[in-house]
Amino acid sequence: MTTDFPSFEIPGRVALVTGAARGLGRAIALTLANAGADVALGLRDVHADAGLAEQIEALGRRALPLQMDVTDPGQVRAAVDATAEHFGRLDILVNNAGIAPGNPAEDVTEADFDATLAVNLKGTFFASQAAGRVMIRQGYGRIVNVGSQAGAVALPGESVYCMTKAAIAHLTRCLAVEWGPHGVTVNAVAPTFVHTPGTADHLADPARRADVVERIAALHRIGEPMEVAGAVLFLVSPAASLITGEVMLIDGGWTAR
């Protein structure tokens, strides 16, 4: 039995965060850097990191902005390969990129359906596949998928988004079982509504905001990006070495009701 105390630091690790330019991705990238990791930034537009690389470097870590539209498997593979080549390894992948075009189910267009699946599912799978190949060779890896409470509860007007997040939860379990023997853990976080550019329009409506706050049953407040980033850090840290195939709800009590 080991007597080492749990560690939440990740010095010397190399992480790749998709959708890193803003919101949850930005908070996660900074949190991993603060804990000791060098961070590759997967960006839909490599020129749009809005000073994130400089912030990471100010923390004493290395940053690598990369062109990575997750709907393009070629860009995904190139970004993963560039990360491993530049830093010499790839220890952590955070699949954060996602979209949520809202529409009543009867009004969903094929274009919206295809776009949501392309980012949320296709992007997550092929980024995991590319990173998984590197991690299997290393005999070590940590993958965290950013799901949503929408994978566990129904959100009106978000049927396709909810479907993709439910699928991500099960993909997480499948990859965890398949890659566990190679030293790779795969987990997911499932946040409630968090203050990000992606939720700003929804939460700007007073009635919808009041409904969300009421449904966050225990805490009755909107989440903050760093509250999600902390859970991601835990799952990639040595403290979570026995956890895999789990979906961690970060919902302020929404689903406890």
Q: Retrieve residue 168's tokens.
A: 């991500």
Count the neighbouring beta carbons within 10 Å of the beta carbon of residue 110.
Answer: 7
Distance from C-alpha of 53 to C-alpha of 63, rounded to nearest angstrom: 5
For 3, 20, 201, 241, the CA distances from 115, given in Å and listed in that order, are 49, 19, 20, 35
Identify the residue whose tokens are 């990000």.
Answer: 196
Provide the total of helices (H) and of strands (E) in the chain, helices listed first.
Answer: 9, 7
Exactly one of 87, 125, 126, 161 is catalytic; name it: 161
Contact 185, 162 (CB under 8 A): no
Written as one string, the DSSP assignment of 53-69 is HHHHHHTT--EEEEE--
User: Is 161 designated active site?
Assistant: yes
The number of angstroms, rounded, from the C-alpha of 112 to the middle of its chain's C-alpha atoms is: 21
Supply the residues annotated as catalytic: 161
